[in-house]
Amino acid sequence: MYSDHANELKGFGIFPIAFFLLYRLKKCESFCVFKKFIVLSYFIVVSLSTCLYLIINNVKLLKSELVIKRMVAMPLEKNWLDQDKSYMEEAVRQAENAKQIGEVPIGAVLVKDGEIISKGYNLREQQQLSTAHAEIIVIEDACRKLGTWRLEDCVLYVTLEPCPMCAGAIVQARLKRVVFGATDPKGGCCGTIMNLLDEPRFNHSVLLSSGILEEECSLLLTEFFQDLRKRKKSLGN
């Protein structure tokens, strides 16, 4: 961030150069008035253009820095919170299904008009596909069922904060809102590392809520990786 500002400030170096050249032109009697006018006009245009560029760029940078860490959270009324918990409980059940077959326990459900239209869980190991995340699976299933790639009136509930790939798919699907349980400090792109759901340079933003059944979601993951380490250790012995 600081290096960006420093690089932009270098653009101001054109001004002393311009003034120096103008001073030399003034001293040069052999240089005709018309040519002096052309050179002067050129440096005025270049200087003003550079100044305008720096102002616009700094405004964009400031806006980006203010927004990038802001999580857009809908105010949760009691009935909304109850609904969120209910749908997240189903997502947790999906995560438990993943755990039973040896997958990282991440589950998701997609809701439209108060009805679950798609649900699923992580299948990356089963399908040996790097894209077989719970969010991708339910988004693709919903698109097939609804016959459209636009899921503008849908809400996604997922037990773990979406990764960069899934956050991108959420934006591309034009989802209305995302609710997740546990944060992901290593790959979360919905507010932890960055917030791709509210990137001002994109043409769509997604409402975001987090921390719903966070303890349950985190415990599932913690227990899974503890058991995995124990199994690996026992095999090593």
Distance CA 64, CA 35 (A): 43
Whether the CB-CB separation of 158 and 185 falls below 8 Å is answered with no
Catalytic site includes residue 8: no
Residue entry with tokens 């999580």: 71
**Do the Cβ atoms of 180 and 146 come closer than 8 Å?**
no
> Which residue in 135, 199, 214, 215 is the catalytic one?
135
Q: Which of 163, 168, 155 is nearest to 118 (CA)?
A: 155
DSSP string, 17-82: HHHHHHHHHHH-TTS-HHHHHHHHHHHHHHHHHHHHHHHHHHHHHHHHHHHHT--------HHHHH
The Cα 222–Cα 147 span in angstroms is: 37
CA distances from 141 to 15, 56, 88, 113, 132 (A): 59, 43, 18, 17, 12
- Dihedral (CA of 140, 204, 189, 192) sign: negative
Q: Identify the CA nearest to 143 among candidates 124, 120, 114.
A: 120
Q: How far is the CA of 155 from the CAs of 4, 138, 216, in angstroms?
A: 37, 11, 20
User: Cβ–Cβ contacts within 10 Å for residue 179, how many?
Assistant: 27
Indicate which residues carry an active-site annotation.
135
